[in-house]
Structure 1
Amino acid sequence: MKVSKSLALVVGLIFTPIALAATPTYTKEEVLKQKLTEVIGVDVVSMSKAPIDGLYQAITDRGVLYITEDGSKLFHGNIYDMENQMKNLTEASLAGPRLAMLKPFEDKMLVYKAKDEKYVVTVFTDVDCAYCRKLHSQMQEYNDLGITIRYLAYPRRGIPSANADEMKAVWCSKDPLKAMTDAKEGEQIKPADCDIDIAAQYKLGQTFGISGTPAIVLANGTIVPGYQPPQQLLKTIERNL
């Protein structure tokens, strides 16, 4: 995923100072949210105080942004705790919100359920990427370890694209699980139409800050970027229980 031009320029961006005095109508968070939307065109999902005094954390459809209380400065990146083994405070703060945002999509996921299910992970996938195909080719091995894989669509070429159309055809086919396997083996999937919203799944991935596929969301909301072999993923899951 390529960062939008507006965010690419964020380091040099200086906002016009804004009055943040409390009013009966607007809270400080609401004023900052409106400022972000108007100036750089992002959709702000939530706004809360950041782990650093004087900063607010905005979860947006382009990932996490940090804005000063007076609305004059913007930061794009992760905050780490140097006194706590470089803990990624940004990632930690996103875990809970991610799980809440995943909930409405559960009935839209393609689920490869383990017979003896012990763990469940959600994978943002693309039908064309090599490592997505590698992960899928080992589906039985993940399932045998008790790992259920749930797929959401993240067409790497964006929306709209032929890539997104192909993923919609998979989701709308009579047997989506088989269609996904066929697509990842390079077969052409017959175009189909239904009420599945691939764009909404893609936007969710952007909100999570996903920049490539596969991207694995663990049960605690942590994101593991990239492919992990079955045994390695099992160890990662167990470390995050």
Structure 2
Amino acid sequence: MRYQGDFVLKPMLKLAGAAALLSYSMAGMAADVKSKLESQLGLEVSAVADSPIEGLQQVTTNKGLFYVSDNGQYFLQARIFDIDNGMQNVTEQSLATMRLNGIKQFEGSAIEFNAKNEKHVITVFTDITCGYCRKMHKEIDQLNALGISVHYLAFPRAGLNSKVYDEMVSVWCARDPKAALTAAKQDKSVKAASCDNKVAEQFEFGQSIGVNGTPNIILEDGTLIPGYQPAGVLAQALDG
């Protein structure tokens, strides 16, 4: 004798089995894409996820955000816009989330110039030899007076095997990193120093979210502003 439960249970088991098979298949596909990009393109892949477009995977790497066909054959650097939702920049939304999540790992290792009456916090990728970085730093008191705290992350533009990288390590490892950063941006010498630091990690994080110059400014919503902006303009954008 068959019970009514048999008619419900068996289809449910089949459904669960199909879902498990699909999940296994998708995991295998992601692993294949990751392996191919790392072996053939030399990228470091930290995440593979579904994109809004069927047939494309969204891939987070040490060199930025990309899209790859499910079979791993086609590789795209692109921006996806959702026409039905007012040309919403879907790619930028993903990047904004990446930026904000990435910033969290550097809490305690950024050089912070905090406003007394803080209204906003911006994160700035900086290079001590960059002219516009120096120009922005001259306005640090003005930014603080406007209620804007500035958290600096290192981005030695010449790379990790450069003199400026070594100099920025010395800044981050100085007894007073804030004073050392200000001195370096005034073309004053900074005493050589070394310590356990995250200068390289900050540089690599910058590359992974599309930073290719300095200053680059991350706002509180994850928006990335490339280049120098006067203190007043930044305040208007933040208060906006």
Q: Tell me the TM-score range normalised by the shorter chain.
A: 0.7 to 0.9
SS at match of 2:128: coil
Q: In structure 2, how many angstroms separate the alpha carbons of the residues matched to 1:84 and 1:230? A: 33
CA distance in structure 1 between the partners assigned to 2:239 and 2:89 by the alignment:
19
Letter paired with 2:198: D
Deviations 1:75-132 (A, max 9, x none): 1132234555543321111222222222121110000000000111110100011110
In structure 2, the partner of 1:219 is 220
> What CA deviation, in whole Å up to 9, does each residue of 1:158-182 have, x standing for no partner?
0111010010111111111011011
Partners of 2:92 and 2:115 in 1: CA distance: 28
CA distance in structure 2 between the partners assigned to 1:186 and 1:97 by the alignment = 34
More helix as a share of residues? 2
SS in 2 for 1:227: coil
SS in structure 2 of the partner of residue 97 of structure 1: helix
Name the amino acid aligned to 2:213. Answer: G
Shift of 1:22: 7.2
| Aligned residue number for residue 37 of structure 1 | 38
- The residue number in structure 2 matching 1:78 is 79
User: Alpha carbon RMSD of aligned pairs, Å?
Assistant: 1.8
Deviation at 1:24, TM superposition (A): 7.5
- Corresponding position of 1:187: 188
Pairing 1:1-241 to 2, within 5 Å after superposition: 26-82=27-83, 84-239=85-240
Q: Which amino acid aligns with 1:121?
A: I
State the TM-score, normalizing by the size of structure 1.
0.85
Distance in 2, matches of 1:223 and 1:138, equals 19
SS of the residue 1:91 aligns to: helix
1:51-93 Cα distance to aligned partner (Å, 9 max, x none): 2221111111111111011111011132234555543321111
Larger Rg: 2
Q: Which residue does 2:15 correspond to in 1?
A: none
1:168–1:192 Cα contact (<8 Å) kept: yes
Asked if the contact 1:22/1:28 (under 8 Å) is kept, the reply is no
Secondary structure, counterpart of 1:107 in structure 2: coil
- Larger CA deviation: 188-197 vs 107-116: 188-197
The normalised TM-score by structure 2 is 0.86
Gaps of 5+ in 1: 1-20
CA contact (8 A) 2:98 2:209 kept: no
Worse-matched range after superposition: 86-95 or 116-125: 86-95
Matched residue type, 2:36: K
Q: Secondary structure at the match of 1:46?
A: strand
Q: Which residue identity lines up with residue 32 of structure 1 in the other structure? A: V
Q: Is the 8 A contact 2:81 2:91 kept in 1?
A: yes
Distance 2:185 2:160 in 1: 20
Deviates more, 1:27-36 or 1:135-144: 27-36
Contact 1:123–1:150 (8 Å) recurs in 2: yes
Corresponding letter in the other structure for 2:187:
G
Q: 1:25 to 1:200 in 2, by over 3 A?
A: same
Q: Which moved more, 1:77-86 or 1:36-45?
A: 77-86
Q: How many residues align?
A: 219
